[in-house]
Amino acid sequence: MNDALSGLTRRGWAFLAVGGGAIVAAVLAGQRDVLRVGLLLAVIPAISLVVALRSRVRLAASRSVEPPRVSVGERATVHLRLANSARIPTGVLLVEDSIPFTLGARPRFVLDHVWSRFRRDVTYAIDPVVRGRYKVGPLTVRVTDPFGMVELKRAFSDVGTLIVTPTVHKLPPVRLVGEWSGSGESRPRAIAAAGEEDATIRAYRIGDDMRRVHWRATAHHGELMVRREEQPWQSRATILLDTRTAGHTGEGIDSSLEWSVTAAASMGVHLAERGYAVRLATDHGSSVSTNWHDPASGPGDAKVSLLDALAVVQPQRDASVGRWPDLLSGADAATGLLVGVFGRLSEQEARVVASLRQGSTAALAVVLDVMTWTSLGENTREQVRLTGAVQVLRSAGWNVIVAKRGEHLTTLWERLGLQRPAVTAPVVEPAGATAATAPSGREVR
C-alpha cells in the first residue's frame, strides 16, 4: 500500500487532501453538495492510481541490439518493444533505457499511450567511440495518468549486450620470411616405410570421434588408434600485447595503449585472413588468452574471437613482462610468427621479451616511443632507454620498428616487410621428397 501511495504526484496528494478535508467539513456541517465535491476530488486520484497500477503490471518489454558487435565508430541500433496486455490503454509512458556513460546520454522517450492488446516499437542509435563489452539496459518505464495524479516506475530485467571491438586498419601485403610453422598434427613429418597410411594415424585421445578409430592399426599397436584430420601446413602467429600501466602514457582513446590495441587488432586480423591460426597473449595472467583462434573454423570466426578478446583489454597495474615466458611455455610455445606491440621497455625487460623468440622462426616487434603520446614530447633519458631496448631485441634476432604518435600503422607494417629478416627459416623436406619443400618465406597478401 505504501509503495502504491508513493506513486501519487503532488497534484494527486493535493486533490486527495482537499477532497478529504471537504468530506470532513461536509459531514460536520451537514452539506451534501460539499460532500459530493469532496468525494469527487478524492476519487479522481484513487481511480488514477488503480488504472496506473494495472497498466504497470500488464506491461511487457523486450529488446534487441543490431548488430550485437560493432567496431569503434560504427553504429548499432537498439530496438525496444513495449506490449500492453491489459484491457485498458496505458496513460502517458516515460521510457528511459540504461546505457553506460561511455556510450552517450541515456535515451528517453515519451509515448502518449499503448492501446489494449497492442504494442509500440521504439528504436535509438548508439555510436560508440570506446571499445569494450557493454550491457544495454535495463529499461525503466514511468506510467502516468492523463490528469497528472500518478507516476509509477517499472524496471524490467531484460538487458542486451553490445561488443565494441577496436578499429581495424587494412594492412598492405608484405613478405615475411620464415613464418611457416606448425605443431601437433600439422607439423611436417617423414613418411613411414610402411606407407602414407601409418603417417595419418595417431593414438586415441579423450574426446576423439569413435568413428575415426582405425581398427586394423588398433589391432597392430595394441591400443586405440584414430585417423588424423590432416592439415599438412598451418601457419601460426602469436600476438604479444603490452598492457602494463607503467609501459604506456596518455589517457582515454588517445593513449598509447589504445594505439597498441588497434595495432594488435589490425595485424591479428590481417594474419587470420591469410590463413594463420592466431592467439593473443598479454602480460597479465588473469586476462591472458593463449587459445589459438584457428581459421579452420572460418576466417570470420577467428577474427571475431580475436577482436572480442581485444575489446575487453584494460591497462594493468600489476602486469609484468616477466610473466610471458611462463604463460607461453609448452610444446608449441614458440612456434610460428611472433608479433609484439610493446610500450616503454627497459633493457632488462627487453631481454625477457627477446628470450621469447627461442625456437621461433621469425619475430617482429613494434616498440612505441610513448613520450610522443604526452605533451612533454621526447626527452634524452627516454630516448636512451628506447634505443637500448631496441638494440637488445635486434641483437636477439627480432625485426624492430619504433612507432611514434601520428604514424600510420600501414606505413609501419610496410617498413617491417622491407627490413632484412634477422633469421631465415630452414627448409623442411619430408623424408624421400625431392620436389616438395616447406616454404622458407611467404608473401602475406
The tens place of each residue's pLDDT in the chain, 445 residues long, gives 555 677 788 888 899 899 999 999 998 888 888 899 989 999 988 888 887 777 666 788 999 999 999 999 999 999 999 888 877 777 778 899 999 999 989 999 988 877 777 788 999 999 999 999 999 999 998 888 778 888 888 889 999 999 999 999 999 988 764 444 444 443 333 323 333 344 468 788 777 778 888 888 888 888 888 876 554 455 888 899 999 999 999 988 999 999 999 999 999 999 998 888 888 988 765 344 456 665 555 556 778 989 999 999 999 988 888 888 877 765 455 567 899 999 999 999 999 999 988 765 689 999 999 999 987 766 778 899 999 999 999 999 999 999 999 999 999 999 887 776 444 433 333 333 333 333 334 555 5
Query: What local confidence, expressed as pLDDT, does residue 333 receive?
Result: 56
The reply to whether 205 and 242 lie within a common domain is no
Query: What local confidence, expressed as pLDDT, does residue 242 receive?
Result: 95
The reply to whether 226 and 261 lie within a common domain is no
Query: What local confidence, expressed as pLDDT, does residue 269 receive?
Result: 94
The reply to whether 311 and 358 lie within a common domain is yes
Query: What local confidence, expressed as pLDDT, does residue 435 receive?
Result: 33
Query: What local confidence, expressed as pLDDT, does residue 320 receive?
Result: 86
The reply to whether 156 and 134 lie within a common domain is yes
Query: What local confidence, expressed as pLDDT, does residue 49 receive?
Result: 82
Report if residue 425 sits inside a domain.
no
Amino acid at 197: E
Q: Tell me, what CATH number does 133's domain have?
A: 2.60.40.10
Report if residue 435 sits inside a domain.
no
Report if residue 303 sits inside a domain.
yes
The reply to whether 41 and 72 lie within a common domain is no
The Cα–Cα gap between 135 and 181 comes to 40
* Domain extent at residue 195: 190-230
The reply to whether 126 and 244 lie within a common domain is no
Q: Tell me, what CATH number does 368's domain have?
A: 3.40.50.410
Query: What local confidence, expressed as pLDDT, does residue 364 receive?
Result: 93
Report if residue 345 sits inside a domain.
yes
Report if residue 429 sits inside a domain.
no
Report if residue 430 sits inside a domain.
no
Predicted TM-score (pTM) of the model is 0.75
The reply to whether 352 and 219 lie within a common domain is no
The reply to whether 317 and 408 lie within a common domain is yes
Report if residue 432 sits inside a domain.
no
The reply to whether 256 and 399 lie within a common domain is yes
List of residues 6+ apart from 1 with CB closer than 8 A: none
Report if residue 99 sits inside a domain.
yes
Domain count, the chain: 4
Query: What local confidence, expressed as pLDDT, does residue 116 receive?
Result: 74
Interval 345-362: pLDDT, tens: 999 999 999 998 876 568
Q: Which of 94, 95, 109 has the alpha carbon at shortest distance from 145? A: 94
The reply to whether 73 and 41 lie within a common domain is no
Side-chain half-sphere of 77: how many Cα atoms within 13 Å? Answer: 5
The reply to whether 50 and 94 lie within a common domain is no
Query: What local confidence, expressed as pLDDT, does residue 416 receive?
Result: 84
The reply to whether 157 and 219 lie within a common domain is no
